[in-house]
Amino acid sequence: MAQVGHCDTGDQFLTNDVLRDVLDRLDGATLARASCVSKQFRSTGYEEAFWEKLCNERWPSTMEEPVKMLVSTAGGFRKLYNNSFPFILCDSHCGSGEEDKGEAISSSDFVSIVDVTYGGEPVLSRVVEGVSGAIAMCGPLVDILEVGRSESASDGHGAGASKEDDDRPLITIHTKLPRVSSIAQERKDGRFWSALCSHLRLSWILVNRKTQQMVNLGSWKPLGGIRHRPCGDDFLLRFGCILPTSSTPVHCNIVMRCITNTSMAVGSESSEGENAATTVVRVTELGMHLEDVHGVHLRGSQAISLLSRVMNCDKTVDESKVSASYKSFMATQISNQESLVRRENHRQTASAVFFVSVFVIAMSFLV
């Protein structure tokens, strides 16, 4: 029989069963605030089952047994939610990493938990061990699709997997996005791009198994993107965050590239009376890069060291701060690139003037 809880004032409040049913309907932030109401709320809100349910709803990959074991050894679902729900704050100070404590850091100490959803429905959930790209000369630090070459995408959520001639896996998302009738029309109203950015979500949780620390490198919503080819149906979306460093900030650039294929549904009409269409979005690239304001990509121990330190960064739940830091970083990067182009143009101009002057002087002596 359920016991009756009491407020701190001694008045009778709710039974534990009723309280659990109420708290079970709350999100993580509200649940944390509710824990401050009374001892009964606090003790009930600390139950691991509540936090596991919240993590399962936001990150479908946490329902997989390997992830459950990883989270359990790293401190539990409450710790996962508290550390991975907020975003990294760019204007913050990062504590010391393992290298500052004299302990060796290895790329194999990290585990990436990646989830992609569209309209609240899971599209891709994948767990990747290590940062294999740190020792490579080019390419992403972690390539989700390359690592999962032999794996298939999850079924039953409007997602399917297929392979092209190069044997590279493609994640196919069957959605009811606005039909892309033409490039000119899309540039005019942007309905497809707006729908894609409004409903597509990505989370990239990085776990350090050695220190049992975790952080979310994703921005949840797209920070920006471009149509890769002016005459094609190739889209590139950027997620991620800006990582604070002791010198210049670094962009954790999570890139998702996708292609579209629109097909008409014969005999069906949309709510506006137009022919309904289903747009299939194939994700052909999903990887994580680290680059500074000069466009230089971080590799090797430099990248591993930074990923270790950002585990200790301050965090925020304000998405506008994440977006503002990204815009500021991109403005600085573009300014640096323009300055580099101007310096190169000046150098070439000076070289041309020098050689013309030498030629004119030489010709004057010959004459």
**Rg for the chain, CA atoms, rounded:** 26
pLDDT along the chain (367 residues), means of 10: 42 66 70 75 78 89 93 91 89 59 76 91 89 86 74 43 46 65 65 82 94 92 76 78 87 88 49 54 89 90 91 88 90 83 84 83 78
Distances (CA, A) of 243 to 160, 162, 305: 34, 35, 12
Rounded Cα distance between 59 and 77, Å, is 11
Per-domain residue ranges for the chain? 4-46, 86-332
Query: In this predicted structure, what is the pLDDT of residue 188?
Result: 67
Predicted confidence at residue 175, as pLDDT, reads 65
Gap between the Cα atoms of 179 and 186, Å rounded: 9
Decide if 218 contacts 206 (C-beta within 8 A).
no
State residue 290's pLDDT score: 94
What is the model's pLDDT at position 26?
67
Q: What angle do CA 183, 185, 188 make, to 5 degrees?
A: 110
Residue 163: predicted pLDDT: 43
